[in-house]
Chains A and B, each alone.
Chain A
Amino acid sequence: MADVRVPEELWPRRGGWRGRVVSVFKKPGDRVSKGESIVEVEIEKAVLVIESPFDGIVREVLVSPGSVVEPGSTLMRVDVLG
């Protein structure tokens, strides 16, 4: 099982920003494909569309609309396929 996190590679050395989850597109048991949108996070400047880095099955969703997240925050846990 693997964690899907808010990518720390986005503005990699400039931390300090936080966002609020606005949409969650997956629930436990859903299949997910690599590159598919799973969560949208609103920061001051923009809405970040977060993609799944793997193919798999969602086991846990750790956020909901309104959750505050930052770089590295875990969004979901996925059973990786293949």
Chain B
Amino acid sequence: MFLDEVRIRVSIGDRYRSVVSLVSRLGIATVCESALCPNIVECWNSGVATFMIMGDVCTRGCRFCYVVKGKPKPLDPLEPLRVAEAVRILGLDYVTITSVDRDDLPDGGASHFAETIRAIRRLNPGVKIEVLIPDFQGDVDAVREVVEAEPDVLAHNIETVRKLTPKVRDRRAGYDQSLKVLRVAKELNPSLITKSSILLGLGETFDEVVEAMRDLRSAGVDILVLSQYLRPSPKQLPVARMYTLEEFKELEEVAYKLGFSYVVAHPLARTSYKAGEAYLEAVKRLGGLKVKSYS
């Protein structure tokens, strides 16, 4: 079966409106809006949103992304508290947080990310937190700072296969740099669940996708997300091709054979989409949580 177009039924309910009101009032950006996510109606109607911290302006310009690129404003030191409050009001038991790149900050925003995790937990005991982090330019100390704040899942996207990385991602990003972030996070805390995503349809071959999946497994990644790349506007890269549902299924099977604990493979899957469900499945298959350790 072929998904030749994505259809979004714009059926906005009261719960969606309450999310609009909340994020506007608290002044928190969401990647749902900034990236023009096609799942926004479904997610916000369920009272779930993925917060994007450190503003809505990114220092990088990856060729698949609709987030505004430019010079970001200084960090808001109260943002961690705002996000924690949003989590409390929405009554979330699983939170997904991502950010823009902040290459203008000495630590890339790692301490702000860590503080956000801690603030959410202080106000919302028992909540599970998943962070989708930038690469912090491969800085191990920055990655350590986030890992030591004890997120339940740490995600970082390689986005595409090795060969297409220079064309698809900003020049400051790097395929090996991203693998390093994931590997380091796992080394620092072997019980931390890690996650990564690959966008399909940018011109990669099947073999290149399999190679990327192997590389992610070598870095210890537990959860894999495979998505269809959708061009947000004429300014981003065109879609090279749309994958069929059968092709997604085939790649999903290969991924499980390679040893991923959980795989989400669907055209509209995104790293943070239904992340709580993915976490529960991954934990089940990993046989429960192990003892944490830092090195």
Contact = CB atoms under 8 A, between A and B. Distances in A.
A37 B278 CA distance: 33
B205 interface: no
B33 A46 contact: no
Nearest to A49: B9
A12 B20 contact: yes
A10 B40 contact: yes
A11 B32 contact: yes
A28 B191 CA distance: 63
A49 to B, nearest CB: 5
Interface size class of A (residues with CB under 8 A): 10 to 19
B34 interface: yes
B230 A7 contact: no
A51 B36 contact: no
A17 B234 CA distance: 10
Nearest to B233: A44
Given A10-B12, A10-B41, A51-B11, A17 B6 contact: no
A11 B8 contact: no
A38 B6 CA distance: 18
Nearest to A6: B10
A4 to B, nearest CB: 11
A11 B33 contact: yes
Contacts, number: 64
B232 A49 contact: no
B16 to A, nearest CB: 7
B33 A12 contact: yes
Interface residues of B, number: 28
B295 interface: no
B14 to A, nearest CB: 11
A46 B230 contact: yes
B266 to A, nearest CB: 15
B99 to A, nearest CB: 16
Contacts of B24: 12-13
A47 B10 contact: no
A49 B36 contact: no
Contacts of B40: 10-11
Contact of B232 (A9, A13, A44): A44
Interface in A1-51: 7, 9-14, 16-17, 35, 37, 44-51
**Closest 6 pairs (CB-CB, A-B):** A46-B6, A14-B33, A45-B230, A11-B33, A49-B9, A47-B7
Interface of A: 7, 9-14, 16-17, 35, 37, 44-51
Given A11-B40, A47-B5, 5 more contacts: A12-B24, A13-B24, A44-B231, A46-B5, A46-B7
